Amino acid sequence: MKITMYSLLKPLLVVVAVFSFIACKAQEENKPRILDPAGGREKVTILPGAYQLEEYLPMLKDKRVAVIGNQTSEINRTLLPDTLLSLGIRVVKLFSPEHGFRGDADAGKTIDNSTDGKTGLPIFSLYGNHKKLPVEQLKNVDIVIYDLQDVGARFYTYISTLEYAMESCAAAGVKLIILDRPNPLGHIVDGPVLESGMKSFVGMQPIPVIYGMTPGEYAHMLKGEKWINADMLELYVIKNRHYTHNSLYQLPVSPSPNLKNMAAIYLYPSLCLFEGTDISLGRGTSMPFQMYGHPGFKNFDYSFTPKSMPGAANPPLLNKKCSGELIAESPDEALSAINNSFNIGWILKAYKAHPNRSAFFTKFFNTLAGTNELRLQIEQGKSEEEIRASWQADLSAFRKIRKKYLLYPDFE
């Protein structure tokens, strides 16, 4: 058989052509993803790691590939597994995190194994019987790709899934490729640092509530600080293009059912503490994580009634009229409300307004906070300034560690 130069170069030409097409489409269809409420910055299109096909497709050739992904694992609105299969990559299985592969399951709901209706690939749940990727599931896998859009809060469980995946890949001798994605809260580092002895799936490492790192940066920190058993892991991070930690990234796809828009995403780290109380934060409404309320609150102008709906089948305070506060309806309002910080003002206000303070907290509060101290400080009537001062030493120590692993220009 006669081998021509064209036949040798054809696969590479196809990859280049596909990448060029996707990049152009991203420029045309996905409007600039930097929000600029203050003005004065040049607006550019941020391209996540998944879009850098020319960097990772050569590593996948003739390999058996597994993907840890969900509805956010997209390239120009096409899911990553579909793109890889269309380019002749041998994808053999999928792994799904909390909320499932399509991202429509309630928070905390157990996810069963299933089969992808479009590709016929098996989907193994990492939020069901196994939260840690079983090493035996990697016996017939050469490379695992991790591609999940995170929101930058310690208790958002995708970084826990990432940590477990790193350990499993290291144990199995399987390469891990992280297709990095921007952190919409990458310009903030704030909140109490997780204390020793408080480890759970909603907080596994000594990081603050808002830690200001992308998944790729966080993975390098886990490995570099030897916080996990991953010394032997062959780790690759495909970086974002045009991203810095001063970029405010507009997510093209909702990362989970109750984070419906950018306002909710910005408010999420501060309002999620209400999940450890008897307060509603709007699950079962059109604006979850943009409000809070309780039937017993007085002297609040805003009211809402949680209803059963997709993504919130049985929300807290179901069918009970709640009085409370609508914090923000737009991204700009949310950014102004948090003021580049982990805001504890709302939970202090709610505690003071509660008709029965002994019923305010649940056991889950300390788990979310990552410390037993915050609840005690609130109960003791400490001021916001006193509470914030109590975590500054630990926060300063974390900032020094974080700096070592940044892949992008920082915000400070």
The CATH code of the domain at 262-390 is: 3.90.1150
What is the structure's pLDDT at 36? 46
Q: What is the CA radius of gyration of the chain?
A: 22
Judged against a pLDDT cut of 90, whether residue 30 lies above it is answered with no
Judged against a pLDDT cut of 70, whether residue 35 lies above it is answered with no
Q: Which residues, including other chains, have CB under 8 Å from residue 328's CB and lie 6 or more apart?
A: 263, 266, 267, 290, 334, 336, 337
Do 214 and 181 contact (CB within 8 A), yes or no? yes
98: pLDDT confidence band, cut at 50, 70 and 90?
A: confident
- Same fold for the domain at 21-238 and the one at 262-390? no
Which residue type, as a one-letter code, is found at position 349? Answer: K
Do 203 and 369 contact (CB within 8 A), yes or no? no
DSSP character at residue 210: E
Number of residues that this document lists for the chain: 412
Query: Over the stretch 110-136, which tens digit does the pLDDT of each residue have?
Result: 677 889 888 899 999 998 888 999 999
Judged against a pLDDT cut of 70, whether residue 104 lies above it is answered with no
What is the structure's pLDDT at 358? 98
Looking from the CA of 86 toward its CB, the CA atoms found within 13 Å total 13
Do 88 and 56 contact (CB within 8 A), yes or no? no
Q: Which structure tokens are listed for 127?
A: 């939020």
What is the structure's pLDDT at 100? 66
Average pLDDT of the residues in 251-275? 96
Distance between first and last Cα of the chain: 60
Q: Which structure tokens are listed for 337?
A: 């409300």
Higher pLDDT: 66 or 115? It is 66
Write down the pTM of the prediction.
0.89
Query: Over the stretch 335-382, which tens digit does the pLDDT of each residue have?
Result: 999 999 999 999 999 999 999 999 999 999 999 999 999 999 999 999
Q: Which residues, including other chains, have CB under 8 Å from residue 178's CB and lie 6 or more apart?
A: 49, 145, 146, 147, 162, 215, 216, 219, 235, 236, 237, 238
Average pLDDT of the residues in 62-85? 96
What is the structure's pLDDT at 112? 77
Q: Does domain 21-238 have CATH number 3.40.50.12170?
A: yes
Q: Where are the domains of the chain?
A: 21-238, 262-390
Whole-angstrom distance, CA of residue 79 vs CA of residue 60:
17
Which residue type, as a one-letter code, is found at position 138? Answer: L
What is the structure's pLDDT at 23? 47
What is the structure's pLDDT at 25? 47
What is the structure's pLDDT at 107? 54
Whole-angstrom distance, CA of residue 403 vs CA of residue 74:
29
